[in-house]
Structures are given as C-alpha cells and as structure tokens.
Amino acid sequence: MTGSGNIHGFTLLQYGLVSYFDELAQSFLITMELYIVGLVLGFSIGLTFAIMRQYGGRIFSRIATAYIEVIRGTPLITQVLIIYALPVAINMSGIASLPLDWYYYYLDSQGRIAITLNWPILSSMIGLGINSAAYQAEYLRGAFASITTGQLQAATSIGMTRWQSIRHVVLPQGLRRAIPAWSNEAAYLPKYTVVAIWVGVMEFLNMAKTVVAKTFLSVEVYLIVALTFFVLITLVSRFLEYIHNRTKIPGV
C-alpha cells in the first residue's frame, strides 16, 4: 500500500501536475466569465421575452414564442458556431470588414499572456446568453402566469397603466416565485460552458485536455474538473435556496 502511494506521488511529481495549477485556475476564470455573462445576458433577454409572451398581445407574444421555440429546438453548439462564424461570413461577403484578431489580456505571475476576452470568448458568451434566455423566459413566464388577473384588474382600477401594473404588481411577486425553477438554469449553465471548446476558447475543460496531453494523468486531471464543477454548482444551488427562503412570500 505504501509503495503504491509512493509510486503515485512520484508520478504526480514527475509529470509536474502541480505546475499546471496556475493555468487551470486561469482557465477556470474564463469559465466563470462565460457563466456569469451568459447567465446575466440570458436573464435580461429572457425577462423581456417572458413579459412579451405573457402580456405582449398577439404580435409580441408570437415573436417571443417563435424565439423561444427556435432556440430551445436547436442545439446550443450550432448556435455558438453560427455566432462565431457570422463575422467571418460578413467579411467574406464584402458587406463589411470586421476585425477578429482583437483581444484583452493580462500578464500572469510568470509573465505569460493570459487572454481574458477575444472574439471566440465573446461569441461563446453571446451564444450561451441567447440560449439560456429561451429557458429563463419560460421559467419567468410560468411565475408571471401564477399572478391572478384580479391583481392586475385591481391595479388598473386605481389608475395604474398596464406597464405600471406589470412593474409594481407582477414583477415583485413573479421574480420571487421564479427562483426555485430558475435556479435549475443557474445550476445547469456552468456545465454548458464547455461548448466554448468548439470555437477554441481555452476554458476549464479545454485546458484540462491540454494538461492531460502533456502529463498523461487523465483520471487525476478530469477528477479535478469534475469536483470543481460539483463544488461550484452546489454553492450556486445553496445560495439560490438561501435567497429564496429570505425573499419568498409567506403562505404562497
């Protein structure tokens, strides 16, 4: 038993897995960028389409329904690839000349360039946000639909406009009611960020693949990835559960 442990420890030391922790940490930060921006962008778009579908009348409701059904009915990876390739297609068509070689970076502790934002990362953020918006819109719409029409009628009877009724009556209740269902999307989205690997983003899983190719420690590296995602998603779920318990409407 002792000999086996020593051999395993020698393997980790020999291939220098510890020396890659900085790069794994940097790639995890990119994953968090994708996650946070995708979630916030998805919420902003999703909230808009949820209101449109529930209260937008015939025209806006159909527009919102079409968006939600198309996005939910097509693979996330194809959406990210289309967004990523769109500027290239525009440049090739001659319509415009869009720069694609821009990037923002910082120097890490060893003086190496660490890219924080470029077109592959941005296109992945947009793709994740657009995809997440379709699912978030349905979670939010379901919560809005649970608000009785009598409350809107009462708001109208005291002189509120339709928008004021939505803003002051529907949103405060609906957003709180939506947290349990909406938390599913917040918990799933970190795992979806791995699609960015298809457009060359050096996110957490992509960096893990690179480390495996250099160290051949596939089990150890992928176990680190799995445990990291597990801890992240658990923390997100517990945090949202706490928020829900603090903000939920008594008796509802």
Phi-psi region of 113 (alpha: psi -120 to 50; beta: other; left: phi over 0): beta
Stronger pLDDT, 113 or 50, i.e. the higher one: 50
In this structure, are residues 131 and 78 in contact, taking their beta carbons and an 8 Å threshold?
no
The domain locations on the chain are: 2-247
| pLDDT tier for residue 98 given thresholds of 50, 70 and 90 | confident
| pLDDT tier for residue 16 given thresholds of 50, 70 and 90 | low
| Rounded CA separation 54/117 (Å) | 36
Residue 110 has pLDDT above 80, yes or no: no
In this structure, are residues 76 and 131 in contact, taking their beta carbons and an 8 Å threshold?
yes
Amino acid at 98: L
Amino acid at 245: N
219-252 residue pLDDT tens: 889 999 999 999 999 999 999 999 888 887 665 5
Q: Provide the CATH topology of domain 2-247.
A: MetI-like fold (1.10.3720)
In this structure, are residues 252 and 177 in contact, taking their beta carbons and an 8 Å threshold?
yes
SS3 assignment, position 103: strand
Residue 25 has pLDDT above 60, yes or no: yes
115-145 residue pLDDT tens: 788 999 999 999 999 999 999 999 999 999 8
Half-sphere exposure of 246 (CA within 13 A, CB side): 6
Residue 49 has pLDDT above 50, yes or no: yes
Give me the DSSP letters along 8-21: HHHHHHHHTGGGGH
The pLDDT score that the predictor gives to residue 20 is 82
First vs last C-alpha separation in the chain: 57
In this structure, are residues 66 and 154 in contact, taking their beta carbons and an 8 Å threshold?
no
The pLDDT score that the predictor gives to residue 72 is 95
Tokens of 122: 């941005």
